[in-house]
Amino acid sequence: MKKYKEFLITSDPFNPDLISGVMWESNISGINEEVNCIKVFSDDLSLSLEELKARLQKLKNESLLRNFTIEENILENRNWNKEWEESINVIEVSDKIVIKPTFREYNPKPGQIVLIIDPKMSFGTGEHQTTRLVLLLLDKYMLKGARVLDVGSGTGILAIASVKLGARNAVAIDIDEWCYGNAIENSALNDVNNSVDIRRGEIKDINETGFDLVLANIQKNILIEIAEEIYTRLKPGGLVILSGLLNDDEAEIKYHYKGLGLSFLETKILEPWIALVFQK
């Protein structure tokens, strides 16, 4: 039977999207996100532990990770797609918001909003606390008819949720090609493709301004780097929701965003992660 390699990765902070993105730069076959680790699979037995370790070390050198571990196993081949699908479940974010893949059945309760998200194997489904934090805050702060910008959009889940919660339209932008394609697919699955504008690029590539709400579920260093870009795209009175942050990041993020003239409104916590809300 054909063999394959399995690499088990843990990190502090645990950021599945960040790690998955850099892992796909190597010759891998798939990724599963577990509760506290990532499993990377490769049919290429020449792929070395050292190559993947170097990619993780680069994230650590850039202060995107504090620590990580990686171990390698050689196993008999298995049904990748079946295992992946079995790991994806229906997620009840709140009484109102539910996330489901196409291959899971769910009978929504009256008034529930169901987000249909089929992720690529490299990106999250809404299980991560950072995504749930933003969804909960969207439900609280969304204004009917709002214009939304989702920076680092991944699967497109936040932009899609924004429209389903009442936004007039949303622009979703991400630098990753996998994310770009996946967000287009998920937008169509939710029948919001006429209201969600999926783009590949960075926030500097967004020419529009005057957004009512800007969302960014990214790690701290990038949120600091793009703070002014976010500020200039907000309309007066507009809101920004930031996530991808740990408790220890709160003071530094507040310092930078309040320094631009934004007013701090709220911190929402799902230990050890937080999301912050500011207003222009």
Amino acid (1-letter code) at residue 12: D
Domains recognised in the chain with CATH numbers: 3-84 (3.30.70.980), 88-279 (3.40.50.150)
* Beta strand 3-12 pairing with 38-42: antiparallel
Closest by CA to 176, choosing from 215, 214, 120, is: 120
CB 128 within 8 A of CB 275: no
Question: What confidence tens digit (pLDDT) does each residue in 205-220 have?
Answer: 999 999 999 999 988 8
CB 218 within 8 A of CB 134: no
pTM of the model: 0.77
pLDDT tens digits for the chain (280 residues)? 578 899 999 999 988 878 988 888 898 877 887 778 899 988 888 999 999 999 999 999 999 899 999 999 988 766 655 666 666 788 899 999 999 988 888 888 899 999 998 876 545 556 678 899 999 999 999 999 999 999 999 889 999 999 999 999 999 999 888 788 889 999 999 999 999 999 999 999 999 999 999 999 988 889 999 999 999 999 999 999 999 898 989 999 999 999 999 999 999 999 889 999 999 9
